[in-house]
Amino acid sequence: MKMPERFDTGKLVISLDFELFWGVRDKRSIAQYGPNILAVQQVIPALLGLFDRYEVKGTFSTVGFLFARNKEELLQYCPKQKPAYTDPRLSPYGDLATAGNDEAADPYHFGYSLLKKIQENGHHEIGTHTFCHYYCLEPGQQLSDFRADLEAAQNIAASWGLKMRSLVFPRNQFNQAYLEVCRESGLDSYRGNPVSWLYAGRNKNDESLFRRALRITDAYLNLTGHHCHDKSDVKEGPLVNVAASRFLRPWSRKLRLLEPLRLRRIKKGMEHAAKTGKLFHLWWHPHNFGANLEQNMQFLESILRYYRELHEKYGFSSITMSGLTDKLHAEQ
């Protein structure tokens, strides 16, 4: 039996899937969800301010499309080989014809100024969420498509002077067979899924309402454990697996009476990681805060305030995905 291997102190990793409308385009319309996307213009500065106040680092896993200043630049970086999904609605490339020219004309699909704010802050990591919000478990796409996508993502990031090192799989569609291509593309870490059948990666046809209902319940009541990770868990495989612990669900008016339970669930996981020298990885999308921004930011501030308490008491420390990878490599 493998013996658990502690970190020197517990670690808090926060990752954000920065995707704007590209991440929800096959599930929602702009008429339905557009206000959430537009509000990301306020969410990103608010997050950066709160992270600075509590000395917290974030990994912003960014869809490659958002690096482009305008449509012309975006088209220049698009790979020739695109994912050939069996369901063509999953591909975003058909939407480029109707997208606006730039962020001023179309803030649903362009986020150049927001990404620039993140980069200029200087305390956070910009990782990849693939170039086109690529789905690694959907039928029709293949490994060579994925390789071309990651190459495009690295190329457009290079135009910003960046070499991205961490990956978040869109829709958490983790595919073990694709990790070697990730390594070849210059990536050395990824966000894996919590170890539970509830959180195992699945494509859209294999997902179920039952699993979704249980995941929502698990956000309030401890059904599956804290999902904290020791050093030996993280180091397994060709890339460092900075596995997720908990999705930060957005504030809900319907469930507002249960908010203390949701906060307690997250705090207990953080406390366990701090006391046992493990990793706790919290994640969400900026657009999740697009509705009820005030309530969501207040909830996040409660979490970050508690992080500072654990930092003072146990040395619990905030680190990016690549920062954690560097730390592990330095110890080898």
pLDDT recorded at residue 236: 64
Total number of domains in the chain: 1
- Domain membership of residue 246 (yes or no) is yes
- Domain membership of residue 2 (yes or no) is no
Indicate the pLDDT class of residue 4, thresholds 50, 70 and 90: low
139 Rama sector, left if φ>0, alpha if ψ -120 to 50, beta otherwise: beta
pLDDT recorded at residue 1: 45
Residue with tokens 């073990």: 176
pLDDT at residue 257 is higher than 80: yes
Alpha-carbon Rg for the chain, nearest whole angstrom, is 19
Tens of pLDDT along 298-332? 999 999 999 999 999 999 999 999 999 999 988 86
pLDDT recorded at residue 3: 55
pLDDT at residue 139 is higher than 90: yes
- Domain membership of residue 1 (yes or no) is no
- Domain membership of residue 52 (yes or no) is yes
- Domain membership of residue 6 (yes or no) is no
Tens of pLDDT along 30-80? 999 999 999 999 999 999 999 999 999 999 999 999 999 999 999 999 999
Instruction: Give CB contacts under 8 A, 24+ apart, made by 93-101.
Output: 93/132, 95/25, 96/71, 99/71, 100/71, 101/70, 101/71, 101/72
For the chain, give the mean pLDDT. 95
Nearest CA to 42 out of 121, 107, 126, 129 is that of 107
Write out the two tokens for 258. Answer: 């249960």
- Domain membership of residue 106 (yes or no) is yes
- Domain membership of residue 209 (yes or no) is yes
pLDDT at residue 266 is higher than 50: yes
Q: Which CATH number is 233's domain given?
A: 3.20.20.370
Domain with 205, as residue range(s), is: 11-331
- Domain membership of residue 178 (yes or no) is yes
C-alpha dist (Å) from residue 196 to 94, 209, 215, 224: 35, 16, 11, 7
Q: What is the pTM of this model?
A: 0.96
Query: What are the DSSP calls for 102-121, one per residue?
Result: BTTT-TTT--HHHHHHHHHH
